[in-house]
Structure 1
Amino acid sequence: MNKEKRLAILTRLRDDNPHPETELNFTTPFELLIAVLLSAQATDVGVNKATAKLYPVANTPQAILDLGLDKLKEYIKTIGLFNTKAENTIKTCRILVEQHGGEVPENRAALEALPGVGRKTANVVLNCAFGWPTIAVDTHIYRLCNRTKFAMGKTVDDVEQKLIKVVPKEFKVDVHHWLILHGRYVCTARKPKCGACIIEDLCEFKEKSE
């Protein structure tokens, strides 16, 4: 895909949704961090239902440590892999209290050192909480970028590096929101809704559907 076509795609997505936001509910960097940690192999809707009950009771590292592992599990037991996620959340909270004064560090290496936090989670936190121009690539974005030929790669890391290279600076802060929402609701996995797509004429996917 050429530079002009990419620019046209990004411009349309921006015009359609000038101020995109994550669909995870949060009010602080810590709430976002825990929500993203819980969202692996789970839906944002499911995570929001759990955190809507958890955060009024405990929404700081110390408060979750005071809650304890067993009680935390009760709040998040509707989320897939909740046992592992609960253990990682407790470990993460302990590190935040002991090493970062109870605050979420605005630092990639420090974030990725937290249990259960990988590059994608760190990218989301740096982008959504701190406004960094990071691009978090999940399964939706990976599929969308390869299907449309916007930024092709064999792995999510490949796609991320390609996006960093080809997306102009003015779009970088918001691009992962536009792509994830488009992949989640329009360019869906089994049958993309090509007939309802605002970038259909620019997309290079050959097997388009109605």
Structure 2
Amino acid sequence: MNKQKRIQILQRLRENNPKPTTELEFNSPFELLVAVLLSAQATDVSVNKATRLLYPVANTPQAIYDLGVDGVKHYIKTIGLFNSKAENLIKTCRILLDQHNGEVPENREALEALPGVGRKTANVVLNTAFGWPTIAVDTHIFRVSNRTKFAPGKNVDEVEQKLLKVVPAEFKLDVHHWLILHGRYTCIARKPKCGSCLIEDLCEFKDKVE
């Protein structure tokens, strides 16, 4: 895919959604960190249902730490992998309290050192909470980048590096939100909705579905 076509795709996505953001509900960097940590192999809808119950009770590292593992499990038991997520969340809160004055660090290495937080989660927090031009590659972005030929790669790291290379600076802050939403609602896994896709004529997917 050439540069001009990529820019046209990004312009259309921007025109359609000028101020995209995550569908996870949050009111602070810490709430976002918790939501993203809980969202691994789970839907944003299921995470939001759980955090709507959890956050009014506990939405700071100290408050969640005080709930303990079993207390956290009570609120997140409807989410997949809730046992390990509860344990990681309590460990993360302890580290935030001990090493970061109870604040979410605006630092990639410090974020990735937190239990249950990998590169993708760190990228989401840096981008959405702190406004960094990072690109978090999830399954949706991986699929869209490869299917459209926008930024093909064999794994999520390759796709991330390709996106960072080919996406112009003016689009970097928002591109991962556009691609996630496009993959979630239009360029879906089993049968993409090519007939109602706003970038169909620019997409280089060979097996388009009407």
Partner Cα distance (1:62, 1:71) in 2: 13
Partner Cα distance (1:142, 1:166) in 2: 15
Query: 1:141-160 alignment to 2 at 5 Å?
Result: 141-160=141-160
Partner Cα distance (1:152, 1:70) in 2: 42
Instruction: Report how far residue 113 of structure 1 moved.
Output: 0.2
Instruction: Report how far residue 71 of structure 1 moved.
Output: 1.0
Partner Cα distance (2:65, 2:54) in 1: 13
**Aligned residue for 1:83?**
83
**Aligned residue for 2:121?**
121
Q: SS of the residue aligned with 1:130?
A: coil
**Aligned residue for 1:74?**
74
Give deviations 1:52-81, integer Å, cap 9, x for gaps: 000000000000111111111010000000
- Matched-pair identity in %: 80
Q: Which runs of 5+ in 1 are unaligned?
A: none
**Aligned residue for 1:166?**
166
How many residues align structurally? 210
Task: Please report the TM-score for the alignment, with normalisation by the length of structure 2.
Answer: 1.00
**Counterpart residue identity of residue 100, structure 1:** H
Query: 1:22-101 alignment to 2 at 5 Å?
Result: 22-101=22-101
**Counterpart residue identity of residue 48, structure 2:** N
RMSD of aligned C-alpha atoms? 0.3
**Counterpart residue identity of residue 66, structure 1:** D
**Aligned residue for 2:130?**
130
Instruction: Report how far residue 100 of structure 1 moved.
Output: 0.2
Give deviations 1:1-31, integer Å, cap 9, x for gaps: 0000000000000000000010000000000
Give deviations 1:142-165, integer Å, cap 9, x for gaps: 000000000000000000000000
Give deviations 1:94-151, integer Å, cap 9, x for gaps: 0000000000000000000000000000000000000000000000000000000000
Partner Cα distance (1:129, 1:46) in 2: 21
Q: SS of the residue aligned with 2:117?
A: coil
**Counterpart residue identity of residue 183, structure 2:** G
